[in-house]
A = this chain, B = another copy of it.
Amino acid sequence: MSENSLETMFRPKSVAILGASSDENKIGGRPVRYLKHYAFDGPIYPINPNHPEIQGLPAYKSILDVEGPVDLALIALPSAAVLQAIRECAEKAVKAVVIFSSGFAETGDEGREVQLELRRIADDAGMRIVGPNCMGIAAFDHNMIITFGVSMLNLPPELGPVSIVSQSGAYGGVAYAEARHRHLGVRLWATTGNESDVSVADCLNYYVEDPETKVILMYFEASRDGAKLMAGLEAAKKARKPVVAMKVGSSDVGAEAALSHTDSLAGSDSVVDTVLEKYNAYRAYTMDEFFDIGYAFTSGLFPAGNRVGIVTISGGVGVLMSDYADKLGLDVARLPETAQAKIRQVIPFAGTRNPVDITGQAVNQHEILEHCLNIMIEEGGYDVVIVYFAGMTSMEFLLKTGLTRVREKHPTAAIILSVTMEEETWKFFDDLNFLIIPDPTRAVRAAAALMQMGRGYAKAEPPAPPALPAPVCVPTAMLNEVEAKLILAKAGVPVVDERLATAADEAGLSAAEIGFPVAMKLVSTDILHKSEIGGVLLNVTDEAAAREGYTTLIERAKAAQPDAEVDGIVVAPMISGGVETILGVKADPAFGPVVVFGLGGIFVELLGDVTQRLAPFGVEEAHEMMREVKGFPLLDGARGAEPADIDALAEALSRLSVFAHENAHRIESIDINPFLVLPKGNGAFAVDALIVPKKNCDGNWCVPNH
């Protein structure tokens, strides 16, 4: 089914309403009212067996009685009647249905079964479903509004560059209302509810293709189809259509509430961060942030820097803004001395460093602002300039003149006016592509968001991960530690030089080969905590001791767990020095394998100091990644220590990511702990490793042939 079928869904030529009501305020009445009120350009077919006429339109007993074709059907019926209604829609060859009704998957197994049946009928008929349990959709450029919410009556639509999709129906309604309150013009709007078919990801993909959509606001609770979501985000990034995403269910509490709410399984929250970051989408955590940033993005100005200039008439607010900018990692860079001098020529007592405090004098001499703003833009090298002016009051006309001249001179400068103003004035400055965010700290946050996006857009695409020739598949049964390391070694992740011995003599010979002292350890997938039963021997110093060690370990295993299957004893060199790190892979149900990195010891255990990336990635990404953990200086030779071999570490991380990606359907998780990084030039290797296969794993591990 092609994404294009959403075209007919959003822009149908005809609409039928099953369960249409004469009462304009009932759930089945409101959509009829909307379509009439906003003059939908096509036939509207109310379906109601009991009334020959609905809100002045001829009604039909069944959708099958409608003579012409029906592109879109809305089902506003009790849940028990929905299955029959869908069958009739399919028979009528409807292209898409929107189902308001609740009482499906969100109520339990029985409802889930009915919902699956709806989907099967629709799939067979090539029909798309929105919902059930949703609040409808709208294409305001098409006068097509199908919802039972009231906000679109109270706040008539105003076309604009923003398209909204929300998994939650009620949040979708709130989002529309908030957007309108905040001067954001909306173009397309959809709520996806239980997502029996059409998902947030589908709408995202469609919005990216819609030529007039410039900014996408997206609210979701879970994403079952991570690949589709990522495809949409990637397309949005390529098209430079910024996405502001709100993903809820990050707390356990929230996740549980989301589950009862629209039957979603919230994915691990940090993976969502990783995904959004990868595709340069902005994640918002509060309503204010969601809309402020969405609004800021409509400017289309995304400077790829970090420098903010601030002009105020209040030194105090300037300091407040500087503090906040600093907190957000912006550079409140000093204005060059020559530029400062030029400003002092006009206002001798001004603070000129940045923030530039043009003081109350600016109220009486309006050209001061124009003068300063021009100097800051021309000589400050700022990526965004914020003008804080509290209220405009009596000087409005003068400010308009001055700022119009600034805009003529600097048509693409990103300028935020942090000024309270009336609707009409707002319109004036909005037309000049000034952003207007009255609250000064929120203005700073918006500036930070513009630059964050700008840097993301400007960043070069990372080089592809190491190329893969035809993979070699290694059939294995159950994986013990030694086997896991063998596979990883084939995948290009260096491992410790070790031998598996299955007899005492062999252990002695292996130890001699490796060189003394050695460490010896039981290998058995049945015995979980080997050190607790004495299953590890350290500092074994000669061949006789190694042979004896073999026997001791086997005896200890038998004594502790007589029925355990023992694969042998692994013999490995004793190593001192190096930095212990942890490399891991976990399979995210929606987004696939994620590679995790952290330093060993307290860093992971006590501080949770880890970072992660979606697999696969190249060596450059791996380098970026390791620099994200707080403990990185220890690898970089902090406190006088020798710098570690971070190139070897980066190579291993990248190789691990490629292996995990190739085997995404087989791997539940991988733990390499510790992965020891030796001093620069000496390499790095896995000391211990665990690969947990997925339950349905075929046992054939594909390792890149390199």
Contact = CB atoms under 8 A, between A and B. Distances in A.
Interface of A: 102-103, 107, 150-151, 154, 166-174, 177, 219, 221, 246, 248-258, 260-262, 285-288, 312-320, 322-327, 332, 349, 351, 353-355, 357, 360, 390-391, 393, 439-442, 602, 605-607, 630-631, 633-634, 638-639
Contact of A326 (B171, B252, B320, B354): B252
Nearest to A355: B257
Given A316-B219, A606-B634, A442 B323 contact: no
A257 B319 contact: yes
Given A107-B349, A324-B285, A439-B288, A249 B390 contact: no
B170 A319 contact: no
A151 B631 contact: no
5 contacts: A168-B319, A171-B320, A258-B319, A286-B442, A287-B439
A637 to B, nearest CB: 12
A257 B287 contact: no
B151 A323 contact: no
A125 B607 CA distance: 60
B251 A323 contact: yes
Contacts of A391: 151, 154, 177
Contact of A285 (B173, B351, B441): B441
Contacts of A324: 285-286
Given A171-B316, A250-B327, A285-B324, 16 more contacts: A170-B313, A174-B390, A219-B316, A246-B320, A248-B316, A249-B319, A251-B322, A253-B322, A253-B323, A254-B319, A254-B326, A257-B353, A285-B323, A286-B324, A286-B441, A605-B639
B639 A440 contact: no
Nearest to A285: B324
A258 B312 CA distance: 13
The interface centre, meaning the residue of A261, A353, A631 with most chain B CB atoms within 10 A of its CB, is A261
Contacts of A349: 102-103, 107
Pairs A-B, 5 closest by C-beta atoms: A168-B316, A170-B314, A251-B326, A261-B315, A171-B316
Contacts of A639: 602, 605
Output the residue of A251, A252, A314, A319 with the most chain B CB within 10 A: A319
Given A288-B442, A393-B150, A257 B322 contact: yes
A261 B319 CA distance: 9
